[in-house]
Amino acid sequence: MDTDTTKVEVPINKDLQANDEYMRNLYKNCDDIKIRHFQFGSDYKQEALVVHCDSLVQEEKSNLLHQVIKDMPDFEAALSLAVSVQQIKVFFENKGVSSRPVMLLKNYNELNANIVNGHIVLIFDKWDLALSFDASSVEKRSVAEPQNEVVVVGPREGTIENLQKNLGLIRSRLKTPDLKFIFKQTDSKSNTKFVYGYLDGTVKKEMLKEFESRINKIKKEEILETSYIAELIEESSITPFPQYRFTERPDVASASLLEGKIIILMEGTGTIVICPGLFNEFFQSASDYYQRSVFSSIIRLVRFVGFILSLALPSIYIALTTFHSELIPTVLLIALLDTREGIPFPAIIEALIMLFFFELLQEAGVRLPKPIGSTVSIVGALIIGEASINAGLASPIMIVVIGLTGIASFSIPYYDFGFAARLLRIPLMFLAAIMGGFGLFLGFILIFLHLSKLHVLKEPYLGTFTLNSTSLLKDGFFRLSLKKLLKHRSTGKNV
């Protein structure tokens, strides 16, 4: 029998032997797929095929199903065509084989999809239908605080690799029928199941329509993580700026839904995609809403200053020392010239070498185990910095500039947004080395023009900076008091 049924929905064969051959050919060399042939009934003339993935199902559920079939001497009568399929379903549900409703499968596509999703499939002889029992059991980690989004005050729950658990964490915070979850599945080898959610009456209809049109185009792609989906539906693939936010906190996802966002979740990953992600939102953190507005506003300003320093501090230093030394106070200029004496490289090359070393240390610190990684980052920075000065490869002031640049990049809550600053600082450095302050100014103008043209799901990336927007003053670089902020959100519905 031909086993290529991914494109055409082939009905299940009534001949049990043909079904047996099909399953064994399809799952050849798949030792974790168990295919068992049963004979049962009062005279053991009835036959059935039980198929399941041993690594995905609960062993006790599999044993219970086998026992139920074996212990039924009158099952032969129950399988007669005079008995409705619904009665057979009710019989198994009453026996407690599955806590969820028993499913009826009509074709091989459905049959294969259920097997790889942890279901036990039961195929009877002379039936063109199969029964599917949900017995999935995949080890998942327990709900714990996300390591990348730690807060001093606030919830400690984080999402895990179980889709249903994650949906429950969000649903428990937004107990309203307006919260909609739409399930989707790709027509690919991975049979990826993912969900997108939104608050009806809060999300903008145009944005939702655009989002759904892009989601519906994802059909044949092999998707293993939510970041795949985010990249497939993004507006521009060449911009260094992220267009969607990622979180592992259900409280952040719930708050985003209240703001009219769309979220994407997927089985097998705890990362939630928040659509769209606008410029000022990447300076916000969950902890901002669990402390007083004054503190949150100050911290957000610090983050924005950190972003500017991370982006432009090396360029400013290069422009000042190369083209505009008259802007530096005389005493400081003399000190800078003394420290640069004997350095064989111009400022741009010196900065690039030190940045390369810093990025190398940062990447090593991330990839190594946590206790070793932090040690390597700190000790490595001290040793390389001191050795570079002694070897005459870099001046002390350059070590300070690069160190401040690196520390400033850590103040940005979202890693991918901080990476955009790390990427753009290189062309800014070259512009500063070639044209000085004018080149730096030109670089900022080009970045601003790029951001102003960028749209995410028909929303302007700099939307909060528009003249008719008051969001920037209410929950942008500043945060209003919670009383005013909640009042603003409650009246901000979109239809």
Residue matched to tokens 């940045």:
355
Structure-token pair, residue 272: 């939630």
What is d(CA 396, CA 407) in angstroms, rounded to the nearest whole number? 17
Phi, psi for 209 (deg, rounded to 5): -65, -45
Q: What is the pLDDT of residues 211-248, one digit of tens each?
A: 999 998 887 667 888 888 888 888 888 899 999 999 99
The kind and range of the H/E element at 76 are: helix 75-78
Pairing of strands 103-105, 245-247: unpaired
> 57: helix, coil or strand?
strand
Q: Residue 101 in contact with residue 38, Cβ under 8 Å?
A: no
Structure-token pair, residue 71: 């212990």
What is d(CA 177, CA 287) in angstroms, rounded to the nearest whole number? 28
pLDDT score recorded for residue 118: 82
Which amino acid, 457?
A: L
Q: Is the dihedral of CA 103, 216, 188, 164 positive or negative?
A: negative
Structure-token pair, residue 106: 């009509």
Which amino acid, 75?
A: F
Which amino acid, 358?
A: F
Q: Which residues of 253-288 are buried (b: 16+ CB within 10 A; e: fewer)?
A: bbbbbeebbbbbbbebbbbbbbbbbbbbbbbbbbbb
pLDDT score recorded for residue 236: 81
- List CB contacts of 403: < 8 A, sequence separation 6 or more: 358, 381, 385
Whether pTM exceeds 0.85: no
Q: Residue 34 in contact with residue 51, Cβ under 8 Å?
A: yes
| Alpha-carbon radius of gyration of the chain | 30
Which amino acid, 320?
A: L
Ranges of each domain in the chain:
16-134, 163-277, 289-465
Q: What is the pLDDT of residues 204-213, one digit of tens each?
A: 999 999 999 9
Q: Split the chain (495 residues) into runs of 10 and give each run's mean pLDDT.
A: 56 87 87 81 72 78 67 53 62 69 84 85 82 74 78 84 88 89 79 87 91 85 84 87 92 91 90 91 86 85 93 93 87 84 86 89 78 72 81 85 90 90 94 93 94 90 65 64 64 47
Cross-strand bridge partners of residue 266? 194
How many residues are given for the chain?
A: 495
pLDDT score recorded for residue 495: 40
pLDDT score recorded for residue 5: 46
Which amino acid, 491?
A: T
pLDDT score recorded for residue 77: 53
- List CB contacts of 487: < 8 A, sequence separation 6 or more: none
> 252: helix, coil or strand?
helix
